[in-house]
């Protein structure tokens, strides 16, 4: 299931014989079986599958929020099973997440939310981060919304602010969990276009779970999960 496109760089994240289960003994529930996959620099991989198929579990494992029960996960060449929690936290700084909703901090303005994506200390943010954040908001068409509170923004605008926050962190891997499901068609399109643009410009890898067939065209590849097993399917362009 490896894409061998000429423009793609080395693997950012790689799952090798990954198996995952919740609970133990009689309570044990197996959710992922023998997952083998890799996502390279500049790739946008869409993950589809019905509810309960193991999509979210796979995303959390790829994003190193969970360690797989069995098998190996290599992120940026490091086997996450071989490192301690502090090292894992540092490695996770190279990963950014985009959620379906609840992406923004309600007590910070749009600009402050973007800056929060790069300054992970309690100290005052350097002025340079603020300049970059304003620039990114401008690129995403939110230049005039920098001082707005999240509850003053539409769902699409909130997602674009979240994308700006992802972009400012210069991540190697973006995990996006159904980022367009709460948006209308136009707003959803804008969001995935930005993500696609990001994979091309910043050479990062994106793993995006969705049920929305209208956005499949932005994907480099599409993986489908069913009953915990993952396989690649061809993309049908609409």
Residues lying near another protein in the complex (CB under 8 A): 56, 59-60, 65-66, 89, 92-93, 96-97, 99, 102-108, 112, 116-117, 120-122, 165, 169, 177
In the complex with another protein, the residue whose CB is nearer, 2 or 60, is 60
CB of 58 to another protein, least distance (A): 11
CB of 186 to another protein, least distance (A): 25
In the complex with another protein, the residue whose CB is nearer, 48 or 103, is 103
CB of 67 to another protein, least distance (A): 12
In the complex with another protein, the residue whose CB is nearer, 61 or 192, is 61
CB of 180 to another protein, least distance (A): 16
Q: What are phi and psi of 9, to 5 degrees?
A: -95, -160
Residue 53 CB burial class (10 angstroms; 0-12, 13-18, ≥19): buried
In the complex with another protein, the residue whose CB is nearer, 26 or 124, is 124
Closest CA to 198 of 164, 226, 222, 221: 164
Residue 107 is encoded by which pair of tokens? 């007590």
Give the SS3 label for residue 91.
helix
Give the SS3 label for residue 34.
strand
In the complex with another protein, the residue whose CB is nearer, 71 or 150, is 150
Beta bridge partners of 115: none
CB of 56 to another protein, least distance (A): 5
Helix-helix angle 127-139:155-168, to 10 degrees: 130
Distance CA 29, CA 23 (A): 6
């Amino acid at each position: 299931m490896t894409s061998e496109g000429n423009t793609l760089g080395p693997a950012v994240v790689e799952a090798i014989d990954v198996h995952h289960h919740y609970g133990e003994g009689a309570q044990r529930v197996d959710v992922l079986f023998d997952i083998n996959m890799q996502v390279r620099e500049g790739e946008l991989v869409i993950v589809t599958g019905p509810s309960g198929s193991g999509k979210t579990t796979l995303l959390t494992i790829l994003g190193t929020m969970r360690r797989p029960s069995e098998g190996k996960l290599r992120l940026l060449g490091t086997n996450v099973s071989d490192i301690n929690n502090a090292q894992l936290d540092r490695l996770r700084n190279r990963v950014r997440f985009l959620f379906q909703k609840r992406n923004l901090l309600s007590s910070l303005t749009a600009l402050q939310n973007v800056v929060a994506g790069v300054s992970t200390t309690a100290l005052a943010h350097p002025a340079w981060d603020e300049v970059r954040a304003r620039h990114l908001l401008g690129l995403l068409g939110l230049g005039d919304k920098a001082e707005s509170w999240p509850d003053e923004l539409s769902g699409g605008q909130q997602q674009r602010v979240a994308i700006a926050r992802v972009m400012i962190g210069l991540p190697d891997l973006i995990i996006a969990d159904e980022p367009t499901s709460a948006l209308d068609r136009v707003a959803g399109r804008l969001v995935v276009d930005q993500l696609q643009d990001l994979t091309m410009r910043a050479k990062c890898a994106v793993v995006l779970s969705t049920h929305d067939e209208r956005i499949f065209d932005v994907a480099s590849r599409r993986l489908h999960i069913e009953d915990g097993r993952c396989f690649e399917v061809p993309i049908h362009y609409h």
